[in-house]
Structure 1
Amino acid sequence: MLHTTRLSQNYKKAVPNFSARPTVPALIDSTTGGVVNDSSRDIMFELGGSWQAYFDKKVPDVYPDDLKSEIDAMNTRIITDITSVPGKISDVDSQAEYEMLFNQYFDRLERLDERLADKRFLMGDHITLSDFWLVVSLIRFDVVFYFKSKLNKKRLDDFPNLWRYAKECYQIPAFKQNTDFTAIKQHFFQVSDEPVTSIDRVIPGGPDLSTWAD
């Protein structure tokens, strides 16, 4: 539909001299093919709130009024302690800074694992925006961050409740149909179509992803 093979091409349709690293998610104008918004936070809140009038009535309210403050607080914790950590680690210039981020990341995973001991989703029995934030990071954890960001204290299946939760969420068609593990690895390791000339851009053969279907 967009007639492009790389997200960078869509960025350049909006900003011809674009030279930064493309990021996902990105909201793309289907008419021009250009990226109009790449703020995951903005896109998520727009889709979960302002666009509800266009939803099928069967679609759950992922940002209910009675949970908004709790969802906002949870989102902040997830973004601060999990989502943003891999990017920050790539810019560290000391062992101490790396270790601080490393511990911050795994401390939050431990707390979330405890929270999910008696909950199906982060807020209970119904999926919310907070689950969207967390699941995207969990899907990338073993595949990318464990290796590339040296977040290797544990693997996802070492957190029994998070692992159960992540697999259950993955089976939801909206998640499964929009998750391409190969594309995720290509994006983070290979980055571009340029020939691979160093080990840094070699796409890892693992991990075994068949367990996501168990």
Structure 2
Amino acid sequence: MSAIKTVEIEANGKYNRQKNQFHTPFGEGLNELPVAPGKYRILWSAVCPWAHRLIIVRKLLGLEYVISVGEADPLRPPLDHIDWAFTLDENHLDPLLGIQYISEAYLKADPHYKGRPTVPAVVDMETGKVVNNDYHELTYQLETAWSKFHKKNAPNLFPVELQEQIRQLNERIFHDINNGVYRAGFARSQEAYAEAYDGVFQCLDELEERLATRRYLFGNQLTDSDVRLYVTLARFDVAYYTAFRVNQKRIKDYPNLWAYARDLYQTPGFGDTTNFEAIKKHYFLSTTIDAESTVSKILPKGPSLEDWNMAHGREKLTRKEE
């Protein structure tokens, strides 16, 4: 079983996620990472919401042939430290980087790296070093710095006139929902759990109301905010509701959020990058809070996933706004 490091648990029982270490942005400036096709590889696992949103944006923008991807196993390797392994690949090695564990790319970048090796991690193909693991900013950078490589008619996920509003909403979504479910699931006190739990459902309630009259979070336009909310909605009923004890309501119990989630799932780039089986394997067989924590090594059979392809009717809201 892998474990969340106890240094990320505060004295009051709150879960405080570690900070990202590699922040150098992409761009054309002196101290920026040069934007060049074939130079970088994104290391990810289908279970991780932070990594999943980068993969969704990469596909929506048509960057699949510009930035390659290496996928780690949803199950953590049986090591004495937290890591991700390339056991899905032949010989258990990433076929382009030749590494067995993601930590190898982190240690190439910093031999003294002590944090958890996280995904997504953008690796320079020439050096094999992690150059950026800042999931807070990476999708914004694909949407802006990499714009000259976007496919024709790619959606504008981060329009200039909405950038401030998108960042503000994304901050709320991250704190209360994306990371909120983890703060509930990894809490080590009743008070910390209750605070996170209440925040999750208060924010979901507000978004349910927001989506009553608009197809996407910012109306007719699909944006970065929709990507960030989707990755948690997709994992909620199948994993978080049970594994993280955020069990006041399922997403299926919210009419607008559930239809919205299905709308996105049925959009190319979302559902075709969503691996529910991998998600279940990770959260029920591989995730614990610390070395002493245990979870039953039983993989749930449900919930049924067929409903994700049901008609959502959200297109009517687009016509209503026009």
> Shorter-chain TM-score: what band?
0.7 to 0.9
- Which structure is higher in helix share? 1
Map of 1:68-79 to 2, 5 A cutoff?
68-79=163-174
- Which structure is higher in strand share? 2
Map of 1:111-150 to 2, 5 A cutoff?
111-150=206-245
Q: Aligned residue for 2:102?
A: 10
1:94 and 2:189 aligned: yes
- Opposite residue 208 of structure 1, the aligned amino acid is S
Q: How far off its partner does 1:78 sit? A: 0.2
Alpha-carbon distance between aligned partners in 1 of 2:162 and 2:233, rounded to the nearest angstrom = 23
Q: Aligned residue for 2:57?
A: none
Question: What is the CA deviation profile of residues 56-75 of structure 1, one whole-angstrom value per residue up to 9, with x for unaligned ones?
Answer: 13101111011111101110
Report the secondary structure of 2:261's partner residue: helix
Q: How far off its partner does 1:200 sit? A: 3.1
Unmatched runs of 5 consecutive residues or more in structure 2: 1-67, 74-83, 86-100, 288-293, 311-322
Please, which of 159, 165, 168 is the counterpart of residue 64 of structure 1? Answer: 159
Question: What is the CA deviation profile of residues 157-179 of structure 1, one whole-angstrom value per residue up to 9, with x for unaligned ones?
Answer: 11111011100001111112211
Please, which of 247, 255, 262 is the counterpart of residue 160 of structure 1? Answer: 255
Report the secondary structure of 1:139's partner residue: helix
* Greater RCO structure (CA 8 Å; 6+ sep): 2
- Opposite residue 183 of structure 1, the aligned amino acid is A
Question: What is the CA deviation profile of residues 127-181 of structure 1, one whole-angstrom value per residue up to 9, with x for unaligned ones?
Answer: 1110111000100101111011100001111111101110000111111221111
Q: How far off its partner does 1:50 sit? A: 1.1
Alpha-carbon distance between aligned partners in 2 of 1:123 and 1:33, rounded to the nearest angstrom = 38
Alpha-carbon distance between aligned partners in 1 of 2:117 and 2:280, rounded to the nearest angstrom = 15
Q: Aligned residue for 1:211?
A: 307
- Opposite residue 261 of structure 2, the aligned amino acid is A
Contact 1:13 1:32 in 2 (8 A): no
Question: What is the CA deviation profile of residues 5-43 of structure 1, one whole-angstrom value per residue up to 9, with x for unaligned ones?
Answer: 534413324327878655443334456666543332121
TM-score, with normalisation over the residues of structure 1? Answer: 0.86
- Opposite residue 268 of structure 2, the aligned amino acid is P
- Opposite residue 173 of structure 1, the aligned amino acid is P
Q: How far off its partner does 1:88 sit? A: 1.6
Indicate the larger mover: 86-95 or 28-37. Answer: 28-37
Q: How far off its partner does 1:191 sit? A: 2.4
Q: Aligned residue for 2:138?
A: 43
Q: Aligned residue for 1:195?
A: none
Report the secondary structure of 1:15's partner residue: helix
Report the secondary structure of 1:27's partner residue: strand
Alpha-carbon distance between aligned partners in 2 of 1:63 and 1:183, rounded to the nearest angstrom = 29
Pair 88,56 (structure 1): closer, same or farther in 2 beyond 3 Å: same
TM-score, with normalisation over the residues of structure 2? Answer: 0.59
Pair 180,30 (structure 1): closer, same or farther in 2 beyond 3 Å: farther
Contact 1:11 1:34 in 2 (8 A): no
Alpha-carbon distance between aligned partners in 1 of 2:256 and 2:175, rounded to the nearest angstrom = 21
- Point out the structure with max Rg over C-alpha: 2
Contact 1:143 1:207 in 2 (8 A): yes
Aligned pair count reads 209
Pair 19,191 (structure 1): closer, same or farther in 2 beyond 3 Å: farther
Q: Aligned residue for 2:265?
A: 170
Question: What is the CA deviation profile of residues 93-113 of structure 1, one whole-angstrom value per residue up to 9, with x for unaligned ones?
Answer: 322221111111001001001
Identity %: 35
Alpha-carbon distance between aligned partners in 1 of 2:302 and 2:124, rounded to the nearest angstrom = 35
Contact 2:215 2:260 in 1 (8 A): yes
Q: Aligned residue for 2:34?
A: none
Pair 53,145 (structure 1): closer, same or farther in 2 beyond 3 Å: same
Contact 1:63 1:71 in 2 (8 A): yes
